[in-house]
Amino acid sequence: MIRPVSGKKMLIALAGAVAVAIFFRYDLQRFLTLEALKANRQNLLEYYAGHRVAMIAGFMAVYIIQTALSLPGAAILSLAAGAIFGSIPGTLYAIIAATIGATLAFLVTRYLLRDAVLDRFGSRLEGMNRELEARGFNYLLFLRLVPVFPFFLINLAAGLTRLPLRTFFFGTLLGIIPGGFVYVNAGASLATIDSLTGIASPRVLGSFALLGLFALLPALYSKLKAKKG
């Protein structure tokens, strides 16, 4: 049985759709490129020097909206955090903003776009959904640490499950710290970066995979124990 959508939910969905349409209609992605960041870094630093709170709030707002609407540009925003704020503060701002944005995407999927997401990505999400239902926090931490699936797809998949909001929030917050720091730290040395592909080297990805394996060990142990029982 299809439940009627409330006016408030319709407005939220419409606002999101309009924001996405504006992003692509006016090619706002051109501002979220490595070249654009390098060209505007000095201007951003000068603005930050005179308007610290406004710059931090504005940066986090943009990052939250980008993540919540599953728009491209997360890597550039993480680099920008390092280029403007430095490695440690930049990581803090980027991680908090990304977690809030991911949580909003999770909630929108759960309460507004469930049918649309299932129609669009259903077959790709089946396995992930099963594991999230069964393994919860540990499997989510694994997915965040190991870049097997796109970040936005994990948000959508988790929103389709019965995963508690608190589990999603803290699993995301903890899981994206290593990857976030790598990009933000790279942004602190922006002049040395020629492309995004070289930032996450095979060695770095291997470290993430090892961390992900440790995160998944309790779930694997429980699974083996259940089979033996």
Return the HEC string of the chain.
CCCCCCHHHHHHHHHHHHHHHHHHHCCHHHHCCHHHHHHHHHHHHHHHHHCHHHHHHHHHHHHHHHHHCCCCCHHHHHHHHHHHHCHHHHHHHHHHHHHHHHHHHHHHHHHCCHHHHHHHHHHHHHHHHHHHHHHCHHHHHHHHHCCCCCHHHHHHHHHCCCCCHHHHHHHHHHHCHHHHHHHHHHHCCHHHCCCCCCCCCHHHHHHHHHHHHHHHHHHHHHHHHHHHC
Q: Alpha-carbon distance 127 to 92, whole Å?
A: 32
The predicted model scores a pTM of 0.84
Tell me the C-alpha distance between 63 and 223, whole Å.
37
**Alpha-carbon span 173 to 188, nearest angstrom:** 21
The band of 68, judged by pLDDT with boundaries at 50, 70 and 90, is very high
Q: How confident is the model at residue 220 (pLDDT cuts 50, 70, 90)?
A: low
What's the pLDDT score for residue 201? 63
Cα–Cα distances (Å) from 96 to 46, 113, 117, 178, in that order, read 24, 24, 25, 13
The pLDDT value recorded for residue 47 is 97
Mean pLDDT, the chain, integer: 85
Using 50, 70 and 90 to split pLDDT, how confident is the model at 41? very high
State the pLDDT confidence band at 1, using cuts at 50, 70 and 90.
Answer: very low
Q: Which residues of 166-197 are buried (b: 16+ CB within 10 A; e: fewer)?
A: ebbeebbbbbbbbbbbbbbbbbbebeebeeee
Q: In the chain, what are the domain boundaries?
A: 7-228
pLDDT digits (tens, 9 = 90+) for 183-213: 999 999 887 888 887 776 666 666 666 666 6
The model's confidence at residue 95, banded by pLDDT at 50, 70 and 90, is very high
Structure tokens at 87: 């490695």
Residue 215: predicted pLDDT: 65
- Say which residues have a Cβ less than 8 Å from residue 93's Cβ, sequence separation at least 6: 56, 59, 60, 63, 81, 85
> Looking at residues 20-47, what average pLDDT do you find?
94
CA distance 51 to 36: 21
Structural contact between residues 57 and 105, judged by C-beta atoms closer than 8 angstroms = no
Q: How far apart are CA 160 and CA 114, in angstroms?
A: 6
What average pLDDT score do residues 111-140 get? 76
Q: Could you identify the residue written with the tokens 């870049």?
A: 147
